[in-house]
Chain A
Amino acid sequence: MFALCVHRCYQRSARLLVARRQKSSGPVSSPLLSRLLRFLTQHFYDVEMFLNWRSQQGRNRLQKKNVFYAYTHTLYGPDIASAHYILCLGGGFRFVGHSDWFRANKRGKFSWDFLNHKDTPLEEVDLSHTVTNYSGLFNLEHQHHLRTLKLQGCPEVDDWFLAKLHVLQDSLEELDISHCPLITTGGLATLKNLKRLKHLNVSSLPRLQNPGLVIILLEEMLPHCQIIADGYGHRLRPADKVCVEEERVQGQQQ
């Protein structure tokens, strides 16, 4: 995209240059912008290298944020490690038996009071709008009392993440994966592994194809789970109507 843009700009500036030359016959010093663009087109591979390097940097940063907190784990135990990981990402959590939440503020700062509750497992975790990903989930692996997990609008939560959620299969009751841009149908099938799931929010998943059908299949797959699926516009309604009509027909027959 960038190279195309550069190419277009360069073409445009070349055209401008030609037009100017026709007007005045003297030597023309090209404007800074076009000289810069020409420089960039002559250094195509350098630009490509730079872009590669930048995306690599982004990946490394993400990796660093989602690293396994092994040091904290050995010093303070798995619960504090999980808590620290969540707060570092800017999320929030609630310990078992507590009523108040520990949260990072908007600037990512948090108080260290949670260190006082050593060996208290987590019950609710809110990682909405954070960059948690598959490898970050290793930090929550030992939370066998985790009942609620909120992952609303997480840009890095994908199907592999959902498949990995089986580590919480005996405890998780409520899962919110709405607005996650990477989730597709292929990952939703693994939610069957969560044996105790009671509430599931799958609203507004942009990459979900045929959302109406998928949600019906999901409801079929998880009969004891309440599924919230908003944000798919009118596409759900015709299917709903058909269902209602079928039920009506069945009711009349009985």
Chain B
Amino acid sequence: MSGWRRLQVKFRTAGLLTWTRVTQPHTGRGGCLTFCQSLSTGGPLRNDFFKDLEAQLAAMRKKAADALPGSSWSPFEFNPDLPPERADVVIVGGGVMGWSIAYWLKKKENKSAGMKVIVVERDPTYSQASTVLSAGGIRQQFSLPENIHLSLHSADFLRNINDHLGVVNEDPIDLQFNHSGYLFLASEAVAHIMEENYSTQRSAGAKVSLMSPTQVKERFPWINTENVALASYGLENEGWFDPWTLLNAFKRKAISMGVIQCCGEVTGFSDTTNVLMNRDGEEVHLKRIKSVKVQMPNSMEFQPVECAIVVNAAGAFSGKLAEMLGIGLGPKDSIAGLPVPVEPRKRYVYVVHCPNGPGLDTPFLIDYSGVYIRREGLGGNYITGVSPEETEEPDTSNLEVDHQFFEDKVWPKLANRAPVFENLKVTSAWAGFYDYNTFDQNGIIGNHPLITNMYFATGFSGHGLQHSPAVGRGVAELILDGEFQTLDLSDFSFRRILVQEPMLERNIV
């Protein structure tokens, strides 16, 4: 509008100027000529104005069309990183478990773009994620057949990883898998447990061999076999790999299949509650999640995402997430009063340099005292650590490393088991969180009895990375088919927590 006014003023002044200029030589003549002249000089200007007007009108029309209902235009600027308003499945936690579930959901959907899957991850740099801070091992030497089968399936997945997670036109995935078996050492007191575990593992199909202390000494001369009664060594499908590569492979494939990645933190849920009566006349509050509130990083902005199903794969923080829905806050001796028994536990990993240490065939050694050590690269570097006692759990508010812990708890045991490690230098160290299941140190897979549409895949207490491919598949089957198809993981459900029947690993440690 201001352009129009400006033009009008220009037009007038131009007319005035011509008038004065023309009237000076021809005074006394009629106004007709001067009028014509003024028109002729003003002509091109008026043309410019009409051209401009057309452009202005077009812009106005466009703006009006944009503001019509049904268009995406809005006077406020939107954050393009916000998650969509609606989704079918929201997976909370973008670690390897979350992405694996996303991949299997997309893999199992029978129609392309059949459902909208969102993975919400708080920290896209994964600086505190348990996935990338783990030691990256995979083993079959468990005592529960379910865990052995999970490991065997995952090993099979990792072997054919390029068939599963390869993307057309991208580089093949190199997991940097080191095939070195786990070597468990057992003392006299626990040797019988190891024998039982061995027979379970063999019958489940794992290739494990038992070794006597003499055989251990012969094969690994650097190990001190004092007080060792029996050892078991994994021949196949055991070793360690790069967790970051696996995480990225899952992520890349899932995104290529249409999974939406979202950076934000889940800070709340909105739900509806149905009140039912059970046989004893008690009220049971069944909740159903309507939407998930996703808060953007470093801002007050949030987006409620309406969804049908929520998957809790938040690892160490999944207990906290369940608490937002009131689980564990209800009256005691009721289902609502039972918290999800998953909490973060801090574990230290130390990188040590030992130039005279064992060479290429160093196993993933686990002593009955709890100390583990594995090779890292070829330059005489090793990774070691130990799980602290239940009474001495470190503070989990940060990820700082306690170096005194190495001096007091790790080194003496390590040097006792392998005297070659008496001379070593700690070159670096880090700490990571276990999603520790305080109830029975095993995974919780399945939905909560009081929340009808939240599925759990958490509490793996340190072997989540190695079980992620198989568990992801199981959860996807549970969501899409309603039951487990390939592996029966129903023993990992919430039921065992309700009836207080722990499913403990019979560890030799």
Q: Which residues of A contact B (CB under 8 A)?
A: 1-4, 48, 51-52, 55, 59, 134, 159-160, 162-164, 166, 184-190, 192-193, 210, 213-214, 217-218, 220-221
Contacts of B236 in A (CB 8 A): 163-164, 166
Q: Does any Cβ of A come within 8 Å of B168's Cβ? A: yes
B169 touches A185 (CB 8 A): no
Contacts of A220 in B (CB 8 A): 359-360
Which residues of chain B from 145 to 187 have a CB within 8 Å of any chain A CB?
159, 163, 166, 168-169, 176-180
Q: Does any Cβ of A come within 8 Å of B237's Cβ? A: yes
- A1 vs B169: C-alpha distance when bound (angstroms): 5
Whether A218 contacts B168 in the complex (CB less than 8 A), given A186-B179, A190-B179, comes out as no
Contact with A along B406-417 (1 / 0, CB 8 A): 000000000000
- A220 vs B159: C-alpha distance when bound (angstroms): 28
Whether A52 contacts B180 in the complex (CB less than 8 A), given A164-B236, A210-B378, A221-B360, comes out as no
Whether A186 contacts B359 in the complex (CB less than 8 A), given A1-B169, A48-B168, A134-B159, comes out as no
Q: Does any Cβ of A come within 8 Å of B239's Cβ? A: yes
B168 touches A189 (CB 8 A): no
Q: Which residue in B159, B176, B219, B235 is a CB contact (below 8 Å) of A186?
A: B176
A189 touches B178 (CB 8 A): yes
Contacts of B359 in A (CB 8 A): 217, 220-221
- A130 vs B506: C-alpha distance when bound (angstroms): 45
- A137 vs B236: C-alpha distance when bound (angstroms): 13
A160 touches B169 (CB 8 A): no
Nearest-neighbour CB distance to chain A for B137, whole angstroms, equals 13
Known: A1-B169, A52-B168, A214-B378. 18 other contacts (CB 8 A): A134-B159, A159-B177, A160-B159, A163-B179, A163-B239, A164-B236, A184-B176, A185-B178, A186-B176, A187-B179, A189-B180, A190-B180, A192-B219, A210-B378, A213-B378, A217-B378, A221-B359, A221-B361
Q: Does any Cβ of A come within 8 Å of B293's Cβ? A: no
A166 touches B235 (CB 8 A): yes
Contacts of B290 in A (CB 8 A): none
Nearest-neighbour CB distance to chain A for B32, whole angstroms, equals 48
* Shortest 9 CB-CB contacts between residues of A and residues of B: A192-B361, A186-B178, A163-B179, A217-B360, A166-B235, A190-B179, A221-B360, A189-B360, A160-B159
Contacts of B219 in A (CB 8 A): 192
- A217 vs B360: C-alpha distance when bound (angstroms): 6
Q: Which residue in B168, B176, B177, B239 is a CB contact (below 8 Å) of A55?
A: B168
Closest to B207 in A: A166
> How many residue pairs between the two chains, A and B, have CB atoms under 8 Å in the bound complex?
61
- A206 vs B349: C-alpha distance when bound (angstroms): 33
- A218 vs B163: C-alpha distance when bound (angstroms): 31
A159 touches B179 (CB 8 A): yes
A162 touches B179 (CB 8 A): yes
Contact with A along B234-278 (1 / 0, CB 8 A): 011101000000000000000000000000000000000000000
Contacts of A187 in B (CB 8 A): 179
Chain A contact surface mostly: helix
Which residues of chain B from 186 to 244 have a CB within 8 Å of any chain A CB?
207, 219, 235-237, 239
Nearest-neighbour CB distance to chain B for A239, whole angstroms, equals 13
- A3 vs B177: C-alpha distance when bound (angstroms): 31
Q: Which of B166, B177, B179, B361 has the most CB of A within 10 A?
A: B179
- A75 vs B177: C-alpha distance when bound (angstroms): 38
8 A-B pairs with C-beta separation under 8 A: A52-B168, A160-B159, A163-B237, A163-B239, A166-B207, A186-B239, A210-B378, A217-B360
B180 touches A3 (CB 8 A): no
A59 touches B159 (CB 8 A): no
Contacts of A134 in B (CB 8 A): 159
- A227 vs B36: C-alpha distance when bound (angstroms): 107
Contacts of A185 in B (CB 8 A): 178, 360, 378
- A52 vs B178: C-alpha distance when bound (angstroms): 29
Nearest-neighbour CB distance to chain A for B154, whole angstroms, equals 13
Contacts of B239 in A (CB 8 A): 163, 186
B207 touches A188 (CB 8 A): no
- A124 vs B178: C-alpha distance when bound (angstroms): 29
- A220 vs B362: C-alpha distance when bound (angstroms): 12
- A3 vs B169: C-alpha distance when bound (angstroms): 8
- A190 vs B178: C-alpha distance when bound (angstroms): 9
Nearest-neighbour CB distance to chain B for A231, whole angstroms, equals 20
Nearest-neighbour CB distance to chain A for B159, whole angstroms, equals 5
Contacts of A55 in B (CB 8 A): 166, 168
Nearest-neighbour CB distance to chain B for A249, whole angstroms, equals 18
Nearest-neighbour CB distance to chain A for B286, whole angstroms, equals 42
Contacts of A4 in B (CB 8 A): 169
Contacts of B177 in A (CB 8 A): 159-160, 186
Closest to B239 in A: A186
Contacts of B169 in A (CB 8 A): 1-4
Closest to A218 in B: B360
A51 touches B168 (CB 8 A): yes
Nearest-neighbour CB distance to chain B for A18, whole angstroms, equals 27
